[in-house]
Amino acid sequence: MEAKLKKKRNGPRLLKKTKQQLAEARRALREEDIAMQKGDTNKKRKREEGEGEKILTEEGEKRRRLRDKIISLRKERQKQQKGEKEEEEESDEYSEIDEEEESSSSSSSSRNKNKTTISRVKEGEIRKLGGLTREKVNKLIKINYKQLKGTKGESDRFIQVKKNRWMLSGKRGLGKTHSR
Protein backbone atom coordinates (compact mmCIF):
# COMPACT_ATOMS: atom_id res chain seq x y z
CA MET A 1 0.00 0.00 0.00
CA GLU A 2 1.56 3.23 -1.11
CA ALA A 3 0.91 6.60 0.44
CA LYS A 4 -1.88 8.55 -1.16
CA LEU A 5 -1.66 12.17 -2.21
CA LYS A 6 -4.10 14.33 -0.35
CA LYS A 7 -4.89 17.76 -1.77
CA LYS A 8 -5.56 20.60 0.62
CA ARG A 9 -7.83 23.47 -0.37
CA ASN A 10 -5.28 26.27 -0.31
CA GLY A 11 -2.08 24.31 0.00
CA PRO A 12 0.15 21.82 -1.78
CA ARG A 13 -0.54 18.15 -2.09
CA LEU A 14 0.67 16.23 0.93
CA LEU A 15 1.47 12.57 1.37
CA LYS A 16 -1.10 10.84 3.50
CA LYS A 17 -0.09 7.58 5.15
CA THR A 18 -2.48 4.70 4.90
CA LYS A 19 -3.94 3.13 8.04
CA GLN A 20 -1.70 0.12 7.66
CA GLN A 21 1.44 2.30 7.46
CA LEU A 22 0.35 4.23 10.55
CA ALA A 23 -0.22 1.01 12.47
CA GLU A 24 3.24 -0.26 11.44
CA ALA A 25 4.87 3.00 12.55
CA ARG A 26 3.10 2.84 15.94
CA ARG A 27 4.17 -0.79 16.37
CA ALA A 28 7.79 0.10 15.58
CA LEU A 29 7.73 2.95 18.12
CA ARG A 30 6.33 0.64 20.79
CA GLU A 31 9.04 -1.94 20.08
CA GLU A 32 11.74 0.75 20.36
CA ASP A 33 10.31 1.92 23.70
CA ILE A 34 10.25 -1.64 25.02
CA ALA A 35 13.82 -2.23 23.84
CA MET A 36 14.98 0.99 25.51
CA GLN A 37 13.28 0.03 28.77
CA LYS A 38 14.84 -3.45 28.73
CA GLY A 39 18.22 -1.94 27.94
CA ASP A 40 17.94 0.50 30.87
CA THR A 41 17.03 -2.25 33.34
CA ASN A 42 19.93 -4.40 32.15
CA LYS A 43 22.36 -1.52 32.64
CA LYS A 44 21.03 -0.90 36.15
CA ARG A 45 21.50 -4.57 37.05
CA LYS A 46 25.06 -4.57 35.74
CA ARG A 47 25.90 -1.48 37.77
CA GLU A 48 24.41 -2.99 40.90
CA GLU A 49 26.25 -6.25 40.44
CA GLY A 50 29.47 -4.51 39.42
CA GLU A 51 29.87 -6.55 36.24
CA GLY A 52 31.87 -4.40 33.86
CA GLU A 53 31.96 -0.76 32.94
CA LYS A 54 29.20 1.38 31.56
CA ILE A 55 28.69 0.77 27.84
CA LEU A 56 28.31 4.01 25.92
CA THR A 57 25.89 3.99 23.05
CA GLU A 58 26.12 6.24 20.03
CA GLU A 59 23.53 8.56 21.53
CA GLY A 60 25.48 8.72 24.76
CA GLU A 61 28.61 9.65 22.81
CA LYS A 62 26.77 12.40 20.96
CA ARG A 63 25.37 13.79 24.18
CA ARG A 64 28.80 13.75 25.83
CA ARG A 65 30.36 15.58 22.87
CA LEU A 66 27.57 18.12 22.86
CA ARG A 67 27.95 18.69 26.59
CA ASP A 68 31.70 19.21 26.14
CA LYS A 69 31.09 21.75 23.36
CA ILE A 70 28.60 23.64 25.50
CA ILE A 71 31.01 23.78 28.42
CA SER A 72 33.88 25.01 26.24
CA LEU A 73 31.68 27.68 24.63
CA ARG A 74 30.50 28.82 28.05
CA LYS A 75 34.11 29.19 29.22
CA GLU A 76 35.02 31.18 26.09
CA ARG A 77 32.09 33.55 26.61
CA GLN A 78 33.04 34.09 30.24
CA LYS A 79 36.59 34.98 29.16
CA GLN A 80 35.25 37.42 26.56
CA GLN A 81 32.93 39.06 29.09
CA LYS A 82 35.79 39.45 31.58
CA GLY A 83 37.90 41.07 28.86
CA GLU A 84 35.08 43.45 27.93
CA LYS A 85 34.59 44.46 31.57
CA GLU A 86 38.30 45.21 31.91
CA GLU A 87 38.19 47.29 28.72
CA GLU A 88 35.20 49.25 30.05
CA GLU A 89 37.04 49.97 33.29
CA GLU A 90 40.05 51.21 31.34
CA SER A 91 37.85 53.30 29.06
CA ASP A 92 36.17 54.92 32.10
CA GLU A 93 39.51 56.47 32.99
CA TYR A 94 39.74 58.04 29.55
CA SER A 95 36.06 58.95 29.33
CA GLU A 96 36.60 62.17 31.28
CA ILE A 97 39.03 63.34 28.63
CA ASP A 98 36.59 62.33 25.87
CA GLU A 99 33.74 64.24 27.53
CA GLU A 100 35.83 67.40 27.64
CA GLU A 101 36.56 67.04 23.93
CA GLU A 102 32.88 66.47 23.12
CA SER A 103 31.77 69.49 25.12
CA SER A 104 34.12 71.67 23.10
CA SER A 105 32.31 70.80 19.86
CA SER A 106 29.50 73.31 19.34
CA SER A 107 27.49 71.29 16.83
CA SER A 108 26.76 68.42 19.24
CA SER A 109 25.66 70.79 22.00
CA SER A 110 23.31 72.64 19.64
CA ARG A 111 21.75 69.34 18.59
CA ASN A 112 21.12 68.43 22.21
CA LYS A 113 19.46 71.79 22.85
CA ASN A 114 17.12 71.35 19.88
CA LYS A 115 15.87 67.99 21.12
CA THR A 116 13.00 68.41 23.54
CA THR A 117 12.24 65.64 25.95
CA ILE A 118 8.57 64.70 26.03
CA SER A 119 7.24 62.40 28.69
CA ARG A 120 5.75 59.10 27.59
CA VAL A 121 2.36 60.14 28.92
CA LYS A 122 2.32 63.20 26.67
CA GLU A 123 3.51 61.13 23.72
CA GLY A 124 0.61 58.76 24.31
CA GLU A 125 -1.88 61.65 24.40
CA ILE A 126 -0.46 63.11 21.20
CA ARG A 127 -0.78 59.76 19.44
CA LYS A 128 -4.29 59.31 20.79
CA LEU A 129 -5.36 62.74 19.54
CA GLY A 130 -3.82 62.20 16.12
CA GLY A 131 -1.13 64.87 16.58
CA LEU A 132 -3.60 67.67 17.41
CA THR A 133 -3.33 69.88 20.46
CA ARG A 134 -5.80 69.51 23.32
CA GLU A 135 -7.34 72.96 22.59
CA LYS A 136 -7.95 72.12 18.93
CA VAL A 137 -9.57 68.81 19.89
CA ASN A 138 -11.91 70.53 22.37
CA LYS A 139 -12.88 73.10 19.71
CA LEU A 140 -13.67 70.35 17.18
CA ILE A 141 -15.72 68.47 19.79
CA LYS A 142 -17.81 71.61 20.47
CA ILE A 143 -18.43 72.18 16.76
CA ASN A 144 -19.46 68.57 16.30
CA TYR A 145 -21.77 68.76 19.32
CA LYS A 146 -23.47 71.88 17.93
CA GLN A 147 -24.09 70.10 14.65
CA LEU A 148 -25.68 67.15 16.45
CA LYS A 149 -27.90 69.26 18.68
CA GLY A 150 -30.10 71.81 16.95
CA THR A 151 -29.96 75.47 17.93
CA LYS A 152 -33.09 77.00 19.34
CA GLY A 153 -34.93 78.71 16.50
CA GLU A 154 -38.08 80.84 16.13
CA SER A 155 -40.32 77.83 15.68
CA ASP A 156 -38.98 76.19 18.83
CA ARG A 157 -39.44 79.18 21.13
CA PHE A 158 -42.45 77.81 23.04
CA ILE A 159 -40.85 74.43 23.81
CA GLN A 160 -39.50 74.43 27.35
CA VAL A 161 -36.89 71.72 26.73
CA LYS A 162 -34.46 72.22 23.87
CA LYS A 163 -34.81 69.29 21.46
CA ASN A 164 -33.11 68.18 18.29
CA ARG A 165 -33.93 70.23 15.23
CA TRP A 166 -35.00 67.22 13.16
CA MET A 167 -37.69 66.35 15.72
CA LEU A 168 -39.38 69.72 15.73
CA SER A 169 -38.40 71.49 12.55
CA GLY A 170 -40.86 74.21 11.52
CA LYS A 171 -44.47 74.69 12.53
CA ARG A 172 -46.70 71.78 11.81
CA GLY A 173 -50.39 71.56 11.39
CA LEU A 174 -52.76 69.25 13.15
CA GLY A 175 -52.31 65.52 12.71
CA LYS A 176 -49.90 62.81 13.70
CA THR A 177 -46.83 64.92 12.81
CA HIS A 178 -47.83 67.55 15.37
CA SER A 179 -45.12 67.04 17.98
CA ARG A 180 -46.08 69.72 20.50
- What is the average per-residue pLDDT within 24-43? 79
Residues 6+ apart with CB under 8 A from 126: 118
Average pLDDT score over residue span 160-167: 62
Question: Mean of the pLDDT values across residues 109-127?
Answer: 67
Which pLDDT does position 59 carry in this prediction?
Answer: 73
Q: Name the 3-class secondary structure at 7.
A: strand
Residue 161 pLDDT exceeds 70: no
User: For position 137, what pLDDT does the model report?
Assistant: 84
Please tell me the predicted confidence (pLDDT) of residue 39. 72
- What's the predicted TM-score (pTM) here? 0.22
CA 138, CA 31: separation in Å to the nearest integer? 75
With b for 16 or more beta-carbon neighbours within 10 A and e for fewer, the 85-110 pattern comes to: eeeeeeeeeeeeeeeeeeeeeeeeee
> What local confidence, expressed as pLDDT, does residue 52 receive?
45
Pick the residue with more confidence: 78 or 157?
78
Section 119-144 average pLDDT? 79
Per-residue pLDDT, 13? 59
Average pLDDT (40-57) is: 53
**Average pLDDT, stretch 162-179?**
58
Average per-residue pLDDT for the chain:
69
pLDDT score for 51 = 43
Most confident of 22-36, 56-70, 98-112, 155-169: 22-36
Spatial separation of the C-alpha atoms in residues 144 and 28, rounded to whole Å: 74
Percentage with pLDDT > 70 across the chain:
49
